[in-house]
A = this chain, B = another copy of it.
Amino acid sequence: MDSKKGSKAPGSPDVEYFFNSAPPLKGRVQTSQKLKEFVEKIVRSSESGRPIRVVCVTSGGTTVPLEQRCVRYIDNFSSGYRGATSTEYSCFFYKNGCVSIIFSNFRGSCQPYCRYLPHDSFLELFDIAEDSTIKVCESHDTVVKRSIKDYRKAVEEGLLLKIPFTTIFEYLQILQMVATSMNCLKSLGMFYLAAAVSDFYVPWENMVEHKIQSTEGPLDMRLTQVPKMLSVLRKDWAPSAFCISFKLETDPDILLQKADMAMQKYSMHIVVANELANYKKEVTVVTSRGKTKVCSHGKDHDLEAELVDLLVDRHFEHIKKCGSEANGAL
C-alpha cells in the first residue's frame, strides 16, 4: 500500500490519485441533478429579495473498506448527534433565510428531529388503541409529536436535502460535488464539517478482492494517509464559503494545539475543538481572534443551540465582509 508524505497543494498528486482510483460513486448522476435543482431553487428565491444562506452539514463517521467485496472495514466513532442537532438549530436560527443540506452516514447515525426518540426500540413508543388506531405511549406523547411536526415542517418548506454516504470514497466524492455546486453562492455558503472523517485508508487498487481469511497467525495491515481535502475545499471547490471544521481528540493536552494547527494549515475560519470524554458538555470555538468555550447548561440544554447561534453571527460578519462579492453573485 502506497503512501505520500506531507500536506499537499490542491490538485496535488495524492488528491488526484484518491479521486482517480476511488470506485465510482453510485447514483452520481441523480445526486448531481438533485443538488443542481436545490441550488437553482435557492438562487431563484434570492432573486425575489432576501438572500438565502445555505449550510452544508456533514455528520456521522466514514468507513474504510478492507476488502473490495467488503466484509470488514474501519469506522470512526460518531453518533451523528452533533450534526443532526446542529441542522435543527441552523434551520431555526437562520429562520426564513436558510436552507440546510445535510449529508450523513446511514448506518446507525442520528438523523435530524430524531434525537429525542429511542434509537433502537421505537416500537415501544406506540400502542394500538381499541379502535385499531395507533396511539403514542403517554410518556413520549409530547416529544414524538414535536419531532414529527418539526420534521414535516422542515421537509415541506424545502429546508432539508439529505445525501447519504457510507465509505470515505463516497464521502469525499459527495463533498466535492456539494462544494462545487455551492460555489456560486459565494460567501452565503457555510460548511459545518462535523463528520468524523477517516485519516487512513486502503487505496482501492491495493485492496484484496475477497474476504481476508483468518489464517494461522496475526494480520498485518498498512494504511495510507487520506489526503487532506479541507485545503482543496478552501482553495479550489468553494473559496468564498465560510468554513468550520471539527477536531476531536481523547488527550486534552494536545487538543487546542491541534485545533490551532488545523485552522492555520487548512485556512479554516473556525475550528470547533471537542474532547471525547465530554464532547456533549463542552466545546472550544477556535478562531483567529481567540478561543470561546461553549457549554451545555444541563440535561435539557443542547450546547449546539449556543454554538450554532455564535457561528451564525460569525457567518453574518463573513458575509458582510465579502458584501460586494456576495451581492454580485446572486
Contact = CB atoms under 8 A, between A and B. Distances in A.
A210 B249 contact: yes
A223 B216 contact: no
Given A114-B123, A127-B148, A221-B221, A5 B216 contact: yes
Contacts of A114: 122-123
A255 B123 CA distance: 37
Contacts of A107: 107-108
A230 interface: no
Given A71-B76, A108-B107, A210 B250 contact: yes
A222 B211 contact: no
B75 A72 contact: yes
Interface in A124-145: 124, 126-128, 132-136, 144-145
Contacts of A106: 108, 119-120
Most buried by B among A109, A122, A126, A220: A126
**Copies of this chain:** 2
Interface stretch (A62-70, A179-187, A301-309, A319-327): A62-70
A219 B202 CA distance: 10
A164 to B, nearest CB: 8
A250 B113 CA distance: 38
Contacts of A128: 145, 148-149, 152
A200 interface: yes
Contacts of A126: 148
B71 A248 contact: yes
Contacts of A71: 76-77, 196, 248, 250, 276
B111 A120 contact: yes
Contacts of A77: 70-73
14 contacts: A5-B216, A5-B217, A73-B75, A73-B77, A122-B122, A127-B148, A128-B152, A134-B134, A134-B145, A134-B148, A200-B218, A200-B219, A216-B225, A218-B223
Given A123-B152, A134-B135, 9 more contacts: A3-B218, A71-B248, A71-B276, A74-B75, A111-B123, A114-B123, A128-B152, A218-B222, A219-B223
